[in-house]
Amino acid sequence: MLKIDGLEVTFSRAGADPVRAVRGVSFEVAQGESYGIVGESGSGKSTVLRAICGLAPTTGGQITLEGTPLPAPRSPAFYRRVQMVFQDPYASLHPRHTVDTVLSEPLAIQGFERREARIEAALTDVGLGPDFRFRYPHQLSGGQRQRVAVARALILEPQILLLDEPTSALDASIQAEVLNLLDRLRAERGLTYVMVSHDLAVISHMCERLLVMQHGQAVEELSREALRARAASTDYTRRLLKASVGYTREDAPA
């Protein structure tokens, strides 16, 4: 459904060396699939998502949605099909907009009818309920904010959801709630996810296939079964797997 072929993202600034954030990354996501991208900070994993939704410049390669190359800038029709949830719910919601304003904006842009009913339904879908409609972000907890961010993305009834570390700013118990919510919504609506995280356990829980990235390049692609069997073919992935267990004292000194 979504195909990324040899994607390159280079940021160039006057008077500085250009930064090649993503260097030739390719992958394909099927309809209804949940695809994970794992890597450390600076590996370019978030930039891939941003490039898909047109927030980062595509300097090489091609992104196609059902065989059609994406227009630049992205069309409103694209955003009806593809929406993104950002990492930090403390930063991604406008502090002086109520939940109602946040949710109305995409509806107004896309010219949707029955806005009130849609807003209430979206809030109910993410487990908040219509009571939350006129609250400001500071009146919400971190988990509630991320639910609002998910509701904002889902209100246009997209087919693909791009999730950029949706739970890394949240406590473990809240993370479980948000992951469950995402899981349920995918099952109910047949959504396609592309999810970025630095946490292998989260990716293993959520995604059927995953791509490991390092220094802007794809290191290897694994299925969930291969990940669970620890069948990593590169050193880097093995190191990530080892680090995800926690600290081990018997390690040889560095």
* Interacting residue ranges for another protein, rule: CB under 8 A: 40-41, 142, 171-173, 175-177, 179-180, 183-184, 198, 200-202, 204-206, 227-228, 239-241, 243-249, 251, 253-254
Quick one: 72 or 91, whose CB is closer to another protein? 91
Q: Smallest distance, Å, CB 46 to another protein? A: 13
Quick one: 149 or 240, whose CB is closer to another protein? 240
Q: Which long-range contacts (CB under 8 A, 24 or more apart) does 236-244 make?
A: 236/212, 237/212, 240/38, 240/200, 240/212, 241/200, 244/199, 244/200, 244/201
| 49 HSE (CA, 13 A, CB side) | 27
* 149 exposure class (CB count in 10 Å sphere: 0-12, 13-18, 19+): buried
Q: Smallest distance, Å, CB 156 to another protein? A: 25
Q: Smallest distance, Å, CB 49 to another protein? A: 18
Given the structure tokens 């390092």, which residue do they identify? 214
Give the separation between CA 23 and CA 7, rounded to whole angstroms. Answer: 7
Distance of CA 54 to the CA centre of its chain: 14
Quick one: 68 or 173, whose CB is closer to another protein? 173
Q: How many residues does the chain have?
A: 254
Quick one: 79 or 236, whose CB is closer to another protein? 236
Quick one: 118 or 209, whose CB is closer to another protein? 209
Q: Smallest distance, Å, CB 92 to another protein? A: 18
Q: Smallest distance, Å, CB 254 to another protein? A: 6
Quick one: 38 or 107, whose CB is closer to another protein? 38
Q: Smallest distance, Å, CB 251 to another protein? A: 7
Reference 209, options 50, 38, 82, 43; nearest CA is 38
Angle at 106 between CA 103 and CA 149, to 5 degrees: 45
